[in-house]
Copies of this chain bind each other. A is one copy, B any other.
């Protein structure tokens, strides 16, 4: 089943000479499949095919693209336990997690299919002609969103299904009408190819043009670089580290023709532990956060990596509780060796800082042969945190840093100092909201999602979800990589002026054949 080849439209291809394996995350043993890295000729072919597919694909109806997305979901289901087992082996995460992640992936594909069936996402606006208007007649104008063109997708190691080959970036780009070229992730080459073949099958079954989807193996950074710099690439989706995302962003902006890059690059997701909330629930909050920090071995992009509180008895009670929770937490295998090495490095560097106190770590040591990460919570005084920008860095894994503030003013300063975040959480009750109104007012400027009295881990897939946020959480705070609005990253408006009726797309005809919501002469109507 796994061939190790690149998928270039409807061809399997392995012309290159570099090969690589993916590895069992727990044992470190190499897994089946000699994955052949795409060479320059294959990248070029994939891009040309995707451009020629685009000229047809962009004119398919939303309904046809919905069928395609549903077919992808079906083909993924058919992969059944083979896919689940490969994901487990490649990441070290448990079966239940992948059954859940697969369900999410399917749900996302279906959600975009639903969006296409509903059709209103194109933001149709119609302003009809006014031939009698003085001093000048008004022309007829009709506008809707159309796809940008071929989209390159860099997939996430921490979600081999939901943010990878058939994840949100791919699903939303295909939904918009953009062909997709996925750079297969070395951490899960096998799962990547399995899903890639499912997409290829679905595309064939639905009569989609050759080149609507490609999957290229890349070990070296060069494959990704060539894709980002290719003149036919019109946009990029990325989920991963700040270093990787920023490098891709910079490459894309320094092209002769800059292109949009939506890179989601991680976050420390600060949690504000406000006094009344702590007073009434320090123990429970501590317990909940110990488990949120360890969810998915701390490898969620919304992991709470920063806890901010004001020193005092209640914060001490919270600290005792979270210490206890962390001590009892078990070390688990991280996604791959690189991530594990990086975790240990950053964790140890942080602990080694004389001003940082190791509050708690799991009583069980991490088994390094299994690439396990040891859950850890440290604390630091706000004064030190404020003076050391290095302290603000994300430690990707089951790690969190409690910043102890002397008073409300210092907490305010810490909030002012933090960078853009995917989320922030307010643990607050009663007067906390008024007492900290100014701090909350500032906090909103830093985040894409503000959680009240919960945990940030858990990203619901629904229209009201925003998974984005100010730089450096993402490269463009105006877009989301979760939920229906993720499609907007890959579409742009076009206005048709005085377009002959027979050339108008259904979305813009006088008669609303699709029953979509449109703004017609400044009134919303689906009639």
Contact = CB atoms under 8 A, between A and B. Distances in A.
Interface of A: 55, 59, 100, 120, 125-127, 135-136, 138-139, 141-143, 146, 148-149, 249-250, 253, 257-260, 419-420, 433, 441-442, 444-445, 447-454, 458, 460, 462-466, 468, 470-472, 475-478, 480, 485, 488, 491-500, 502-503, 517, 519, 522, 524, 526
B260 A494 contact: no
Copies of chain A in the complex? 2
Given A127-B463, A448-B494, 14 more contacts: A100-B135, A139-B454, A142-B464, A143-B464, A148-B478, A253-B253, A260-B476, A444-B494, A447-B494, A449-B497, A450-B495, A478-B493, A485-B493, A517-B524
B494 A449 contact: yes
Nearest to A524: B517
Nearest to A500: B452
A260 B502 CA distance: 38
A55 B524 CA distance: 32
Nearest to A449: B495
A475 B259 CA distance: 8
The 10 closest A-B pairs by CB, nearest first: A141-B464, A466-B495, A125-B464, A449-B495, A127-B464, A127-B462, A477-B492, A143-B464, A253-B253, A451-B497
A258 B471 contact: yes
A466 B146 CA distance: 12
Contact of A524 (B126, B480, B497, B526): B526
A98 to B, nearest CB: 14
A259 to B, nearest CB: 8
A259 B253 CA distance: 12
B442 A466 contact: no
B141 A454 contact: no
A87 to B, nearest CB: 19
B442 A494 contact: no
A466 B493 contact: yes
A496 B139 contact: no
A433 to B, nearest CB: 6
Contacts of A135: 100
21 contacts: A55-B442, A59-B441, A120-B524, A125-B463, A143-B465, A257-B470, A259-B471, A260-B476, A433-B502, A444-B494, A448-B493, A449-B496, A449-B497, A450-B497, A451-B498, A452-B503, A454-B498, A463-B519, A465-B495, A470-B492, A524-B524
